């Protein structure tokens, strides 16, 4: 007996938009916090000598790998590690809130991977950066952890909220709600709240952090901003209606890191976006018949053409349908063998 396949779930574009908004907010918060940590108040410029990393690989004394969202060495002997949870879990179902503090607790040890000769600093602060509407919940949950191991921190733990506001300019404001930092002047400044003009953030054109974006969003960025530059000067296939553009996933990754993310360097920063995200996105294009695999590993031929309508919605719908079909294949019942199979 077989069962009919379940009807595919309808595509909800608003759900994708909310997911992308959260991702963008996280990127903005990261860039704003880095900007403020490197801001030279006296000279009114960013201090380019202050090193930082996004998703930087750090290690503890047991050589376990740790990748905080932000690592900044504001002083030769002091550093800051920050984790960003734009939407702090609304409750502790499945210990989701506790997991946030377990992650923060993993940074409450001597860390290796700083920009010093021995890779160490004397002390570092820990910061939880979350949307201003969630920071009270985060602080209250931490208070409730009193007496538990994940609630005991040897190093400073500060809770910093962020929010966007519109006045005569657009601002991203950082405000420390509780906790302290080694740099008392900086800590006091954050306590009084720091509005940062959004243009300082937006002009950097950062679109990624150390978390994979929704793949439709990544595809829309590639198709809108990157592939048109690749297609310039290429011969269009008039019969098939597209321009074949040969790329490698390494090339796409490098260009996205250079223009919209964070480049790798010789000092431990690995580069964002990650190559595996780009590989997944390009494979999705193959499944949409908007690309084909090239001759060689990680090589692809993009069937590039301008798209009409909402590019993001198109990719969102295609990706949703692909995922639903894969899900249906996994759920499809397998035929039971019969006595006649071996005759």
Comparison of pLDDT for 153 and 338, the residue scoring more: 153
Q: Determine contact, residues 96/86, Cβ cutoff 8 Å.
A: no
Task: Return the pLDDT at 340.
Answer: 46
CA atoms within 13 Å, Cβ hemisphere of 228 = 7
- The Cβ of residue 24 has, within 10 Å, a number of other Cβ atoms equal to 16
What distance in Å separates the CA atoms of residue 14 and residue 64, rounded to the nearest whole number? 39
Residue ranges covered by each domain of the chain:
23-202, 215-331
146 DSSP assignment: T
Which of 92, 177, 169, 80 minimizes the C-alpha distance to 130? 177
- What percentage of the chain carries pLDDT values higher than 90? 87
Average pLDDT, the chain: 93
Model confidence, pTM: 0.91
CA atoms of 170 and 168, how far apart (whole Å): 7
* CATH classification number, 215-331, choose in 1.10.1200, 1.10.20, 1.10.10, 1.10.3680: 1.10.10
Mean pLDDT in residue range 137-149: 96
For residue 139, name the pLDDT band (cuts at 50, 70, 90).
very high
CA distance linking residue 81 with residue 5, whole number of Å: 48
pLDDT at residue 337, rounded to an integer: 61
Helix intervals (H) in the chain: 13-37, 96-105, 135-144, 184-191, 198-202, 215-221, 227-231, 249-260, 275-287, 311-331
- Asked if residues 158 and 107 have their Cβ atoms less than 8 Å apart, the reply is no
pLDDT higher than 70, residue 3: no
């Amino acid at each position: 007996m077989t069962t009919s396949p379940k009807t595919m779930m309808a595509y909800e574009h608003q759900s994708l938009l909310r997911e992308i908004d959260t991702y963008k907010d996280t990127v903005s918060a990261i860039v704003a916090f880095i900007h403020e940590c490197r801001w030279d108040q006296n000279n009114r410029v960013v201090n380019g000598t202050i090193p930082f990393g996004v998703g930087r690989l750090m290690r503890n004394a047991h050589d376990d790998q740790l990748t905080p969202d932000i690592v900044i060495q504001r002083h030769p002997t002091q550093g800051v590690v920050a984790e960003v949870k734009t939407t702090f879990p609304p409750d502790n179902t499945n210990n989701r809130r506790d997991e946030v503090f377990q992650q923060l607790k993993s940074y409450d040890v001597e860390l290796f991977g700083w920009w010093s000769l021995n890779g160490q600093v004397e002390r570092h602060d820990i910061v939880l950066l979350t949307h201003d509407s969630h920071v009270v919940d985060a602080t209250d949950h931490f208070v409730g952890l009193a007496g538990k191991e994940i609630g005991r921190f040897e190093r400073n733990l500060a809770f910093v909220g962020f929010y966007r506001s519109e006045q005569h300019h657009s601002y991203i404001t950082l405000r420390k709600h509780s906790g302290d930092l080694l740099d008392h002047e900086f800590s006091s400044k954050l306590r009084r709240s720091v509005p940062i003009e959004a243009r300082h953030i937006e002009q950097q054109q950062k679109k990624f952090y150390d978390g994979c974006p929704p793949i439709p969003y990544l595809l829309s960025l590639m198709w809108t901003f990157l592939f048109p530059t690749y297609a310039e000067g290429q011969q269009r296939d008039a019969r098939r209606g597209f321009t074949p553009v040969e790329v490698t996933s390494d090339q796409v990754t490098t260009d996205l890191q250079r223009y919209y993310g964070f480049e790798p360097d010789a000092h431990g920063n690995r580069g964002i976006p990650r190559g595996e995200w780009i590989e997944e996105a390009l494979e999705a294009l193959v499944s949409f018949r908007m690309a084909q695999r090239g001759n060689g590993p990680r090589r692809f031929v993009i069937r590039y053409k301008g798209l009409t309508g909402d590019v993001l919605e198109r990719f969102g719908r295609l990706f949703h349908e692909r995922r639903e079909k894969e899900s249906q294949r996994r759920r499809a019942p397998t035929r039971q063998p019969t006595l006649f199979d071996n005759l």
